Structures are given as structure tokens and as C-alpha cells.
């Protein structure tokens, strides 16, 4: 076998949002399907060394979700506009241009193009599912070929496996792929980073708090620690997205806490961030949250997570020494 091609159709998308076709997002079922495929690939030591995807939202997020579920970062995913709404000729052009030193490539895209590609490449008759479908959403096809990428054509590959998400376990192994415990989300969801954005004004420490996504509580930014990123860079990412601020994250963690979600315990590392730039409301993507600068003494009693209070007070005392 010279090369291995993994063809992954995007997960189930959400038609109810009113977004145009390119921006249509995944529903939760679509996200979970992509993640199950990622876990299956990692568990079977088949993680791709090159991923190329349509840049459409539903395909790109499928690629990212599957990649992170493998325990890998998603920054190296290649977006190729030619894959969006591609016919088989477009897809063959993409394959012919793949780097020859990449032996296992995953291509993420759309039907009917992917089905046409599979039927063209396969040297054997392809078996349809009981539902009459070949590549339902989030389905993975694995093909082997002895030819170079540039030489692929009709009948040049052999379909060795076709995997549908409904055939895989609904839950995810924890803490590693060989873990014996199973949880509602991939393992990396339970490792999170939080950031306390601060500034010094007239010698006093002020903390930036934001409304929770459902507008019920005051919180500080918090999110999943994505594979491939440090805890500090994940914290900075959450600060930018949830609070609309940028700055320098302290190297040392100032504390940690736990909380229950997705049927298990999430561990949250907490970092301080000195705010250098506030993104204008008109440019802040999550401006619906609203944000507010509050003195450290007051904010300790305002934030929902009780464990943050002592951390905020300790940070304030350290900064004003």
C-alpha cells in the first residue's frame, strides 16, 4: 500500500438556523458523529497525517471536531475552496495535488461529490447500506491504493472499510483512548482553562466580568483546553471570544476548581490576564453577553463560581504589593 485515503462526509447540519448554505452549522448530533469518528481513528492508530477540508462551516467543524477527538490540534487542517460543492472532477484535482510524502490523508467534504469520488476510485463494487445510502452524514470511507496521489483515477483504489457513526459507541473513553470509563463527551472536554482579566486603574485592581451565555450569572471567561494549545493560550482565546479582550496571560496558574458537567467532573485551571486591548463592542462577536469592570473586592461576591472569590482577592493583593 502506497497511500491511504480517508473520505469523511460532514456531520448532520442544522437547517433551522436560516444561515446560507456555506455557513450552515452542525447540530449536536453532527458534532458527536464527527468526534466518534475521530476517537475511532485514534483508537485504531489511524490518525491522518494530513487533513484537507471544504471551508464550509459544517465541513470545517467536522474536520476540527474529529481532529481534536483524536487528541490532536486542529491548526494544521488545510482548507480548500475547491471541495465545497465539488463534483468528482474537482475532487480528483484536489487529490492529484496532495503532497506525495503524506501517506494517510483525510478529505472532508460534501455529497454528492464524495459519493461520486468513492464510486470512481473504488476498484470493487461498493455496498450500499440498508437505508439505501452510501455516505450518510459523518460516515467514513477508508481506501488503499498503490498509486501516487498524482496518478489516481478510475478504479485505482480499494475500499477496505466503511464506517457509519451509528455503528460506534455513543460515549467516549476517558481519560485516554484505552480508558475503561466512558463519558458523554470526548476526554479533552473535561480539561478546561479559565482566565481572570484585570487592569490597574489609579492603583486599584479592576476585574472584567461578563454575563453567562444564558444571561443568568456574572462569570469570567472559561472554556475547553483544546488539544495542541497550552492552557495559557486556551485561556487567552476564551478571553478574546467571551470578554472581547486581549493581553498577556501570566505563566503561573493562580488556582483551580472542579464542577460537574456532561455526567462527570471538569477540572478548570485558572490564569490571570493583564488586559492590554479591549475589542470595541461593534467588533466583539459575543457582545450580547455584556461586560463590566468591577473592583476586585466587589467582584469576588458577584461571580457565580464561589472558588474564584479567594483567587481574585489573592491576585489583587499580589498586584498591589
Residue 21 belongs to some domain of the structure: yes
Residues 70 and 147 in one domain: yes
Residues 142 and 36 in one domain: yes
DSSP secondary structure letter of residue 184? S
**What pLDDT does 50 receive?**
97
Distances (CA, A) of 11 to 24, 63, 187: 11, 9, 20
Residue 212 has which C-alpha cell? 453567562
Residue 71 belongs to some domain of the structure: yes
Total domains in the fold of the chain: 2
Residues 26 and 157 in one domain: yes
Residues 203 and 104 in one domain: no
179 alpha carbon, distance to own chain's centre = 21
**What pLDDT does 109 receive?**
98
Residue 174 belongs to some domain of the structure: no
Parent domain of 307: 188-319
Residues 94 and 32 in one domain: yes
Residues 152 and 229 in one domain: no
**What pLDDT does 4 receive?**
97
Q: How crowded is residue 114: how many other Cβ atoms within 10 Å of its Cβ?
A: 25
Residue 178 belongs to some domain of the structure: no
Residues 148 and 68 in one domain: yes
Residues 79 and 145 in one domain: yes
Residues 79 and 199 in one domain: no
Residue 181 belongs to some domain of the structure: no
Residues 151 and 260 in one domain: no
Whether the CB-CB separation of 249 and 237 falls below 8 Å is answered with no
**What pLDDT does 1 receive?**
65
CATH number at residue 212: 3.90.79.10
Residues in the chain: 321
**What pLDDT does 304 receive?**
86
Residues in the chain with pLDDT values less than 50: none
Ordered alpha helix ranges (H), 169-279 = 231-238
Residues 206 and 274 in one domain: yes
**Residues 6 or more apart from 13 whose CB is under 8 A from it?**
24, 25, 26, 27, 30, 58, 137
**What pLDDT does 212 receive?**
86
Tracing cell 495542541 back to the chain, one arrives at: 228
Rounded CA gap, 240 and 277, in Å?
10
User: DSSP labels for 108-165?
Assistant: EE-TTHHHHHHHHHBSSPPPPPTTS-SS-TT-EEEEEESS-GGG--TT-EEEEEEE-G
Residue 10 has which C-alpha cell? 460532514
Residue 177 belongs to some domain of the structure: no
Q: pTM to 2 decimals?
A: 0.90
Residues 133 and 209 in one domain: no
Rounded CA gap, 143 and 145, in Å?
7
Domain end point (choices 167, 196, 214): 167
CATH number at residue 36: 3.40.50.1240
Amino acid at each position: 500500500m502506497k497511500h491511504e485515503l480517508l473520505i469523511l462526509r460532514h456531520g448532520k447540519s442544522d437547517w433551522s438556523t436560516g444561515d446560507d448554505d456555506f455557513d450552515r452549522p452542525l447540530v449536536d448530533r453532527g458534532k458527536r458523529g464527527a468526534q466518534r469518528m475521530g476517537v475511532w481513528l485514534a483508537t485504531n492508530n489511524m490518525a491522518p497525517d494530513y487533513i484537507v477540508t471544504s471551508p464550509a462551516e459544517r465541513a470545517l467543524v467536522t474536520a476540527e471536531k474529529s481532529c481534536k477527538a483524536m487528541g490532536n490540534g486542529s491548526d494544521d487542517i488545510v482548507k480548500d475552496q475547491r471541495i465545497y460543492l465539488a463534483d468528482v472532477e474537482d475532487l480528483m484535482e484536489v487529490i492529484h495535488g496532495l503532497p506525495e510524502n503524506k501517506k494517510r490523508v483525510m478529505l472532508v467534504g460534501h455529497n454528492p461529490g464524495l459519493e461520486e469520488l468513492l464510486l470512481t476510485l473504488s476498484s470493487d463494487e461498493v455496498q450500499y447500506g440498508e437505508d439505501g445510502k452510501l455516505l450518510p452524514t459523518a460516515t467514513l470511507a477508508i481506501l488503499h491504493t498503490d498509486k501516487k496521489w498524482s496518478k489516481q483515477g478510475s478504479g485505482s483504489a480499494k475500499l477496505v472499510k466503511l464506517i457509519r457513526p451509528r455503528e460506534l459507541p455513543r460515549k467516549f473513553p476517558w481519560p485516554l483512548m484505552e480508558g475503561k470509563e466512558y463519558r458523554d463527551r470526548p476526554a479533552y472536554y473535561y480539561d478546561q482553562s479559565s482566565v481572570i482579566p484585570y487592569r490597574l486603574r489609579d492603583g486599584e485592581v479592576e476585574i472584567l466580568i461578563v454575563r453567562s451565555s444564558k444571561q443568568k450569572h456574572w462569570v469570567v471567561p472559561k472554556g475547553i483546553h483544546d488539544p495542541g494549545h497550552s492552557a495559557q493560550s486556551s485561556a487567552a482565546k476564551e478571553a478574546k471570544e467571551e470578554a472581547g479582550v486581549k493581553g498577556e496571560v501570566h505563566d503561573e496558574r493562580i488556582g483551580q476548581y472542579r464542577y460537574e458537567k456532561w455526567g462527570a467532573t471538569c477540572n478548570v485551571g485558572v490564569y490571570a490576564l493583564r488586559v492590554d486591548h479591549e475589542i470595541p463592542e461593534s467588533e466583539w462577536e459575543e457582545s450580547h453577553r455584556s461586560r463590566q469592570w468591577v473592583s476586585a473586592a466587589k467582584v469576588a461576591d458577584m461571580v457565580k463560581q464561589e472558588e474564584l472569590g479567594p483567587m481574585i482577592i489573592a491576585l489583587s493583593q499580589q498586584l498591589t504589593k
